[in-house]
Structure 1
């Protein structure tokens, strides 16, 4: 993908574009961190489970908030960006990492 982006950028520069910036998608979650990655399957999430979520306001930075699941808000069996939950602290976000089973 990077080679394709560089090719397009070169064509744009030759056509007279002054400043061409290549923005690549963020890297996937680091599986070497503590806890299991995941949280996309509702069957793996239950009340009382300790998880790390990303809140809507933190989606750009990817900042995680840890807590214990109070409610599961996503009704579908799976969600590609993570099952939405409410923590006991009241914070709402999508599960990025399961910290304890």
Structure 2
């Protein structure tokens, strides 16, 4: 599961293709990058994309959650608050932060 924000000013009734444009474009760029973080193109078929507004509940299916958002403590804390609402007990949560002390994220 790969989630991202919706494009700015997206109507609530917009189709998923519009709501998920940012995440879908990011995944496509990752596949094309060299070296690609996606080991094989077959793996891409196993990645479900979505957005934080409509698909946050889907984190309940995850065994491991990796937070990779902009380096702003307030935004990271908002993401963690939402994740806590939906994650199943025992799910690992890790951060890709480079400069924010981990104790501030918990």
TM-score, structure 2 as length reference? 0.20
- Report which of the two structures shows the higher radius of gyration computed on alpha carbons: 1
TM-score (normalised: structure 1) = 0.21
Which of the two has greater strand per residue? 1
The structure with the greater share of residues assigned to helix is 2
